[in-house]
Amino acid sequence: MAANITYHEQTDMDNIRKLREVLKTLPAFAKDYFRAIEPTTSTKTRISYAYDIRIFFQFLISQNPSLAKIGIPNLNVSVLDQLKPIDIEEYMEYLKLYDSPNDQTTITNGERGLKRKISSLRSFYTYYYKRQAIETNPVQLVDMPKIHDKAIIRLDAGETAALLDYIEHCGDQLTGQRKAYYEKTKLRDLAIVTLLLGTGIRVSECVGLDVEDIDFRNNGIRLIRKGGSEMVVYFGPEVEKALKDYLEARKAISPLEGHEHALFYSTQRKRIGVQAVENLVKKYARAITTTKKITPHKLRSTYGTTLYQETGDIYLVADVLGHKDVNTTKKHYAAMDDARRRKAATAIRLREDYED
């Protein structure tokens, strides 16, 4: 990777290559759709759509031997006109549990996965229907899967402090190679978790940071947000200290070629990846709470909730988190919090003479 190519540019290039490979496994007419949506979608969105559409065609040939003989790449757009709403409903049922045609692993989809795949198919069908390449749009006649609200999982103030303390001191009792690994990654891990908790940035934004994106004069970080927009997010003294401590230790790292600008490195001296950050957050969080499944996104929820509780400004929360629709923010962070809900536990007394 050339030095002047950013993480986000490289990611886009990789996604474009992946998309071209997936398109080779789809009907030839599908290229028109992906070419048309390019100006309004990210490369990540397009590759996700491509995977979803491929599952749809794999379903079609698994249910129709005559189509299987033709093969997916040779299917004509007219095949879309042969389907009825009941076929789409059967596809939705199929998505809940099916075997991957490549390695025969069993795949399941919950409400959100199901809705995303049907949304992809609805967009695909709508493109050809509007351009009069097909006469019917059965996906439009099928109800979208209902998404049930889930309780927002986040850390409370005590758990947040305990998590950071644990990262700082959990190596005190370690020995040998485990001790050496902990000391090697301690400042990096503390900086990452402190940054996520102190700014609410997405894990993808975190791993995409270059060292040049940090501005200590104004205590801000330059981000490329979801959708490609650029924004500066500001941080406080705790994040500042964690970053400076890590950057001092970072001087001793000799990065591999092409990774010189990355802010956070893996132990292989490459830019750290999303999966690695998810794993380290889960590892530390398991020692703090066994009842909450904490991920980087839950740290983002923790930040958003705390910011709203402290400021009461839902528009500020939406802006800092990079939400394009403030209603998304209201749904997640303006709901009744645990502190109020817990009052219900002591509001009703079943027996007047009962003592704690």
Q: DSSP secondary structure string, 128-184?
A: HHHTTS-S--GGGGSPPPPPPP-PPP---HHHHHHHHHHHHHGGGG--HHHHHHHHH
Fold type of domain 7-141:
DNA polymerase; domain 1 (1.10.150)
Q: For residues 339 and 233, is the Cβ–Cβ distance under 8 A?
A: no
Q: Which helix (H) or strand (E) holds 106?
A: strand 106-108
Q: DSSP secondary structure string, 89-102?
A: HHHHHHHTEEE-TT
Q: What pLDDT does 5 receive? A: 79
Q: For residues 299 and 288, is the Cβ–Cβ distance under 8 A?
A: no
Each of the 356 residues of the chain gets a pLDDT tens digit; together they read 445 678 888 899 999 999 999 999 999 999 999 999 999 999 999 999 999 999 999 999 999 999 999 999 999 999 999 999 999 999 999 999 998 877 678 999 999 999 999 999 999 999 999 999 999 999 999 999 888 877 778 999 999 999 999 999 998 888 999 999 999 999 999 999 999 999 999 999 999 999 999 999 999 999 988 877 889 999 999 999 999 999 999 999 999 998 999 999 999 999 999 999 999 999 999 999 999 999 999 999 999 989 988 888 888 888 898 888 887 787 777 654 555 555 555 555 556 565 55
Q: What are phi and psi of 146, to 5 degrees?
A: -80, 135
Q: What pLDDT does 351 receive? A: 62
Distance (Å, rounded) from C-alpha 269 to C-alpha 185? 12
Task: Tell me yes or no: is domain 157-336 CATH 1.10.443.10.
Answer: yes
Q: Which helix (H) or strand (E) holds 183?
A: helix 176-199
CB atoms within 10 A of CB 287: 12
Q: Which two tokens stand for residue 189?
A: 């891990």
Q: Which two tokens stand for residue 179?
A: 């001790």
Q: Tell me the residue length of the chain.
A: 356
Query: CATH 1.10.150.130 occupies which residues in the chain?
Result: 7-141
Distance (Å, rounded) from C-alpha 214 to C-alpha 84? 54
pTM of the model: 0.82
Distance (Å, rounded) from C-alpha 184 to C-alpha 199? 24
Q: For residues 335 and 152, is the Cβ–Cβ distance under 8 A?
A: yes
Query: CATH 1.10.443.10 occupies which residues in the chain?
Result: 157-336
Q: What are phi and psi of 210, to 5 degrees?
A: -100, 155
Q: What pLDDT does 125 receive? A: 98
Residue 198: C-alpha distances to residues 234, 244, 272, 306 (Å): 9, 15, 19, 10
CA neighbor of 44 nearest in space, from 248, 235, 202, 219: 202
